[in-house]
Structure 1
């Protein structure tokens, strides 16, 4: 139990998120579905409180008018995160309290952070999606399905190479990696043996499942057949003559799609206050686009008046990719953006001073405006934040021409974001003027430089010899018209995590570039990317347990 300052003088005792989740009175998922005018035939129930919704419904509802789309993003975060998921749930609950038909769209949590250090990803306090334990632990099996499909492809590739290898695939050029949904640093380096008369080895490594391109493909496909087609476009390596080899050339996409036939359907759950929620897909927010599935978002827009969703990390990464990759692919038009800020993040970027940290927040707000969308700031209140500090943030934002609102959704649920919700409703009444940052017709380097200079604030971009060769080859192989997915540290606007605030006169260093052709984007790496995290000295797993009655403890 912890004490939490809710208003000026009122002190209340807060239960943990797990305690709140376990004591919440959930409504049957069939009742939640009825709120969305869904019929029993549209659902495949997983117990009383979870259901998958048939992906075919999206095609049937294509002529229905869309609701309003609201993105939750953040200023440059601290390593602990600033509570985007909690604000996402809280805002949707507040909209529901205002009489609006609202829905939540979130990514699925990975087991890696859950048993590692960060914990679950279902929101927190009185602004979380439920049943929390099930959502955080395997859920409906989507991530295990992605893991199986990824590893099936890896096995089929190695089997093909060790036998006839008619395409003359160069084993040293294989880019496809096996995955696992737990943090395991020992799998960062492994040796693969192509058995035969002689064991031919190659160095390899595992990634965490969320980093698999299959996860990104799942989240950027709008039907089972499109999913199968996109799986066939994945590049797995190169021939001895340097030509890219795609899954469809090997004929493996059908078997992979079979493993994902259920995973393509969005998962319907509810929040603490009974707000309907789709929790579907969970791509890495670094080497992928870090958003929930297009299917879930587009279907939610047909089923409700307001859809509140989030994108990974700060606005320089998550929001930019949401706009330039997801919205472009799905022809989505966001109506408003809420930037989550916290006192602790402002202090981190201001060397202890809130006022000196404000420019970081202001930069993100200015960036959002470049996409033609109106930003609103949600100040996520934490224990220990003083009234003076909160007033300073609101005042400074007002001075910059951006409206900011205190939110207290962890402790108060939807009630803690009513004022914010009213502002969002007002913003959404205006016609969306959304536009992507760059044209796909621009050369790859020009796209990279557009993001680096306009979004990050870099003075220039420096390319390594490897990156230059990669980009030339990507253009040569016909991938030049794809959007770029920038992979950099989330802890700074620059590619150096130590540079806080709004860095000036810095260069962005491009280390390499590669294609995720199934997902439909080019991954541009600015440094080392940890695709298989390790466990800390004291993993969260040490505190997680279950009793004889099946009651779980230790999740957060």
Structure 2
């Protein structure tokens, strides 16, 4: 087992020039736009008929409810793609781009770990190709146009108390959650309350990831509702005459990014909405590129099957007309022990009883994928060196009892070689026909959609609503947006909206505090619990451990 940290391992990678990766995929020179030696953008006008003809198998990697111990879902996704390549399959990854907020905060980046990483990891985890900066600029251009319109006479009759469009920054900065701007005289704008969200929570990010092409992107941007008038009429980006300029800022960013794993498996990394406050999947374009060029496209959805997994199917697959051929539910011994009641300080001690107790969480997520969404499901046990044989065997025995195939994957330690058995299970699962179903139909009411998600996916009783949420629900349906899917914003740590309720709680209600209409993205965000759209840094942020030497070598990143 290696004692090197992730960044040290990444620096020893035998990377191929990115043009070789592109050529091996069959990407033409006209479609290939290099960004240095090891990353590129791809400009493909994807023909629908060609895509359907050449489409590979889609593999979704999701997980149990996450814990502070970490589940390593991205690491497993990378290792699985490498494992498929190890058994002779043409595999391609499709992942989200990391946000600077978690990179400098507590969660860390999203480039995998150990010997299952995408590289160059420093680039990917920091500025990469500038996509997030472009998305932040596009979002804040709308903010500037909105306040400029109000400053110059407000001919649209915008009620400044009903502005729903905050500004964004790609950083965890709690100080900006609630602000007052436009102060110090009339030349500096009209004073009003405002605030910031993190960039990954922006509706622009969601639109970016759900758009099929530039025209679709521009049309969705034009439909964004930024505010309401004094007589309660919606004000859109189109009303501000900003659709073209905002889209212009995104033209280059909209092209998917191509990189590689440590084992030179191609990876498209593009877009990155959070799964607890947005839909949690990489762009449709990246997924379709992976499907176009690979026989197997491995992609992940954020957090557990109740969050990213559900939204991947009910929002992304519905929009893109896709369906996974197989689903991998990732579990770890440590996480199951935490769901079994073990504290983080005692996770390295063998505790078979706690693993057994925590299995209720794994079983619930398997049933969600298998029974609610009717998908071919296997379990990938992400192995840690502290796991004992007895603890691992408990999981394998339980999966056998449930009729689910499972495999132990040692991808952190061994890379693709540690996932060949899992890869074979995935190939076999992909051979079975799938008839995917959704958690709800679009023609039901918003309240019914939320109830279906709570009951079928979370295992709860139903939902309660604040007076504010009930008013918003009625207004959304009255203006004709009741047919949209719902995007539940809730804690990732529990199936409920209370983070401390671990395992598989029952007999709970989800409290809907607020409903936000994302008319451009095409969904309704239901805010539950204490969910934050602008996170804060922890007491000891990861930023304190990051440094750079005189040669420009970054240390302490991971």
The TM-score normalised by the length of structure 1 is 0.96
Q: How far apart, CA to CA, are the structure 2 residues paired with 1:444 and 1:300?
A: 33
Aligned to 1:248, what secondary structure does the other structure show?
coil
CA RMSD across the alignment: 1.4
Name the structure 1 match of 2:223: 233
Cα distance in 2, alignment partners of residues 313 and 494 from structure 1 = 14
Q: Secondary structure of 2:444's match?
A: coil
**Does residue 332 of structure 1 match 2:322?**
yes
Distance 1:431 1:150, change over 3 A: same
Corresponding position of 1:354: 355
Partner of 2:93: 104
- One of 130, 134, 144 as aligned partner of 1:145: 134
Question: Aligned partners of 1:247 and 1:315: how far apart in 2?
Answer: 34
User: Which moves more between the two structures, 61-70 or 160-169?
Assistant: 61-70
Query: Would you say the 8 A contact 2:151–2:189 is kept in 1?
Result: no
Structure 2 match to 1:45: 34
**1:153 positional shift:** 0.7
What is the CA-CA distance between 1:14 and the residue it aligns to?
2.8
Mapped to 2, the partners of 1:220 and 1:505 lie a distance apart of 34
Matched, 1:173 2:173: no
CA contact (8 A) 1:244 1:477 kept: no
**Map of 2:203 onto structure 1:** 213
> How far apart are the structure 2 equivalents of 1:72 and 1:168?
47
Name 1:407's counterpart in structure 2: 409
2:282 is aligned to 292
CA shift digits 1:210-246 (9 cap, x unpaired): 1111011000001111111110011101010111111
How far, CA to CA, are the matches of 2:47 and 2:549 in structure 1?
A: 42
Note the 1:121-132 alignment, pairs <5 A: 121-132=110-121
Matched position secondary structure for 1:171: strand
**Could you say what secondary structure the match of 1:530 adopts?**
coil
Aligned-pair CA distance for 1:347: 1.1
The answer to whether 1:424 aligns with 2:426 is: yes
Q: 1:154 to 1:341 in 2, by over 3 A?
A: same
**1:328–1:198 CA distance, 2 compared to 1 (3 A):** closer
Seen in structure 2, the aligned counterparts of structure 1 residues 58 and 537 have a Cα distance that, compared at 3 Å, is farther
Q: For the residues of structure 2 that align with 1:254 and 1:162, how far apart are their CA atoms?
A: 22
Selected match of 2:241 from 251, 254, 257: 251
User: 2:345 — aligned with what?
Assistant: none
Task: Show CA shifts across 1:397-448 (max 9, x none).
Answer: 1111112211110010001111110010001011221122211000100000
Aligned length: 545
Distance 1:433 1:342 in 2: 29
Question: Secondary structure at 1:249's aligned position in 2?
Answer: coil
Equivalent in 262, 267, 276 of residue 272 of structure 1: 262
**Secondary structure of 1:225's aligned partner:** helix
Match of 2:503 in 1: 501
Post-superposition Cα deviations, 1:133-175, rounded to whole Å, max 9, x if no partner, equal: 1111110000000011111110110000111322101111111
Query: What is the CA-CA distance between 1:55 and the residue it aligns to?
Result: 3.9
Match for residue 87 of structure 1? 76
Instruction: Report what 1:9 is aligned to.
Output: none
Structure 1 partner of 2:351 = none
Shift of 1:528: 2.6
Unaligned runs of 5+ in 1: 1-11
Aligned-partner Cα distance in 1 for 2:100–2:390: 39
CA contact (8 A) 2:145 2:240 kept: no
Distance 1:246 1:80, change over 3 A: farther
- Matched residue, 2:348: none
Alignment correspondent of 1:78: 67
1:464, distance to aligned residue in structure 2 (A):
1.3
1:186 is aligned to 2:175: yes
Residue of structure 2 equivalent to 1:5:
none
Note the alpha carbon deviations across 1:243-277, whole angstroms, 9 max, x for none.
11111122101110110010110000000000000
Structure 2 vs 1, CA of residues 197 and 388 (structure 1 numbering), >3 Å: closer, same or farther? Answer: closer
CA contact (8 A) 2:256 2:268 kept: yes
Take 1:225 and 1:231, find their aligned partners in 2: how far apart are those partners? 10
Q: Distance in 2 between matches of 1:516 and 1:164?
A: 27
Q: Give 1:8's aligned residue.
A: none
Native 8 Å contact 1:55 1:295 kept in 2: no
**Residue 469 of structure 1 pairs with residue 471 of structure 2:** yes
Q: CA deviation at 1:348?
A: 1.4
Distance (Å, rounded) in 1 between the aligned partners of 2:122 and 2:43: 24
Instruction: List runs of 5+ in structure 2 lacking aligned partners.
Output: 343-353
Give the whole-Å Cα distance in 1 for the aligned partners of 2:204 and 2:415.
Answer: 35
Question: Do the aligned partners of 1:42 and 1:57 also contact (CA within 8 Å) in 2?
Answer: no
Match of residue 10 from structure 2: 21
Aligned pair in 2 of structure 1 residues 313, 268: CA closer, same or farther (>3 Å)? Answer: same
The farther-off stretch of 101-110 and 462-471 is 462-471
